Amino acid sequence: MAIAPTSGARALAADAPLSGYQLMVVGLCILINICDGLDAIVTSFAAPVLVQDWNLPAEALGLIHGAGATGLMIGALLVSPQADRIGRRPLIILGTFVSTLAMFGMSFSNSVEMLVIFRCLSGIAVGSLLPSLSVMVIEYSNEARGNLFLALVHIGFAAGAALAGLLGATMLDEYGWRGIFFAAGCITALVSLAAAILLPESLYFLTSRQPRNALPKANKLLARLKVAPLEKLPPKTTAHRRSPIAIAALLAKPLLFATLFLWMAAFLRYFVSYFLTSWKPQMLVLAGFDAETAATVGISTSLASALGVLAMGILATRFGAPRTACVTFLMAAVAMVGFGVFDSPEALVAFALLAMFSIEATFTGVMITAARLYPESIRATGVGFAVGIGRFGAILGPSIGGIVIGMGLERSSYMLIYAGAATLGAAAIAIVGILAARIYAEGKAPSATETA
């Protein structure tokens, strides 16, 4: 896939060997996303004890979970684009601080209303951090390793979810639900402090947006990267400051159709993925598995998901993210058809593993595509909107699944719906790749300065 043109600073550092400083930044971003996964999932492990302690009805717990989902969309759509205005560093540090505050707030909450407020704040922080971290990793990596490092960031979220499970297993009996929220807050606070001390600003933000003292800050970073300093910043224009709305740059020519098809791909990936995540255990039970075996299969599919993300990080560098994501979308479609048609336990497990491997690989492919599609001055906005639009699919996918399963449709029938969605997603992401190659080959894309 052709990628967005970058500033002169990018040209100096893009193909250079990775320095220890770059690896430190990437490692810190992975660590922050581990905390992201911890803070996003810890409520699920605290919920059973919370319900028992407060005798909460299902509706109240639904409000708490719903507040988190709402916060995730707000963070992705409204907060993460601000990284293109105020910088990657301040938004990431603010996000980790808010996440820390939310965890401690939930630990000391005394009412459902307080839990809803702090759960929403946590969701906003988590929703804003993933796009910003993805952008920061791409911008601090060289071309050979950027896709792999972005995959490792996404695996970090899964590692954080596993850490939440570990806290739940080791602390709930002795310290209760307040204890695991407090522990999550302490861990996130330490990482937040490390980010405030160690995390630099993006070199591309400094050279494209050019905030106060941008040149000395950029040259300080270049020295740490062992790259020659800039004599002056690249030209900055105000050509695209006509609209204060961040989305306007994404929907301006020539990016309009590439953006719309990217959103379609992101929506369909979330639509399929969240259906599988939400309903796979129940579908296995309906197919004759006992609950314990279904849970064991769930652990195996989590491992398959992580392997899929890692595979995408490796293969996208060689074959291009849109092309590879198109293939994994189609693999997911085949897996879901097989899951619907075959009845043997061995086949069901095999197709479940293939489905989760491929659909989670697709997520990383879509995010790499988004990060590579847009110039640096609107990159966080582009990734944020792709995630935010996708989350509407995360709502509809499981909901429609509940309707069709509740109607008593055969598994082979409703799995075709989701296989069809994955096939449409494959077409959408393939079109993004074609459009991006055409845009940048013909030199039509807005430059970093034009979108400033």
- Structural domains in the chain plus CATH codes: 8-224 (1.20.1250.20), 247-441 (1.20.1250.20)
pLDDT for position 242: 41
Per residue in 265-300, pLDDT (tens digit) is 999 999 998 888 777 666 777 777 776 676 667 667
pLDDT for position 294: 67
Task: Please give the full DSSP string across 231-264, using - where no structure is assigned.
Answer: SSPPP---TT-S---THHHHTSTTTHHHHHHHHH
* Separation between Cα atoms, residue 63 and residue 54, nearest integer Å: 15
**CB 100 within 8 Å of CB 192:** yes
Q: What is the DSSP letter of 79?
A: I
pLDDT for position 338: 94
* The most confident of 75-84, 134-143, 281-290, 403-412, by mean pLDDT: 75-84
* Separation between Cα atoms, residue 144 and residue 296, nearest integer Å: 36
Is the pLDDT assigned to residue 173 strictly greater than 90? Answer: no
Per residue in 238-255, pLDDT (tens digit) is 444 444 456 788 998 889
Q: Model confidence at 235, in pLDDT bands (50, 70, 90)? A: confident
Interhelix angle 345-373/321-341, nearest 10 degrees: 160
User: In the numeric block, which tokens belong to residue 37?
Assistant: 């996964």
**CB 280 within 8 Å of CB 305:** no
pTM of this structure: 0.82
pLDDT for position 362: 97
pLDDT for position 292: 65
pLDDT for position 452: 40
The Cβ of residue 399 has, within 10 Å, a number of other Cβ atoms equal to 12
Per residue in 113-169, pLDDT (tens digit) is 999 999 999 999 999 998 999 989 988 887 777 888 989 998 888 888 888 878 887
Contacts of 404 (CB under 8 A, 6+ apart): 413, 414, 417
Task: Please give the full DSSP string across 272-333, using - where no structure is assigned.
Answer: HHHHHHHHHHHHHHHTT--HHHHHHHHHHHHHHHHHHHHHHHHHHHHH-HHHHHHHHHHHHH
**CB 39 within 8 Å of CB 189:** no
Any idea which of 124-133, 270-279, 319-328, 437-446 has the lowest mean pLDDT? 437-446
Mean of per-residue pLDDT scores for the chain: 85
Q: Tell me the mean pLDDT in the region 347-354.
A: 90
Q: State percent of the chain over pLDDT 70.
A: 89
Is the pLDDT assigned to residue 54 strictly greater than 80? Answer: yes
Which residue matches tokens 């792709």?
386
Which residue matches tokens 């293969």?
315
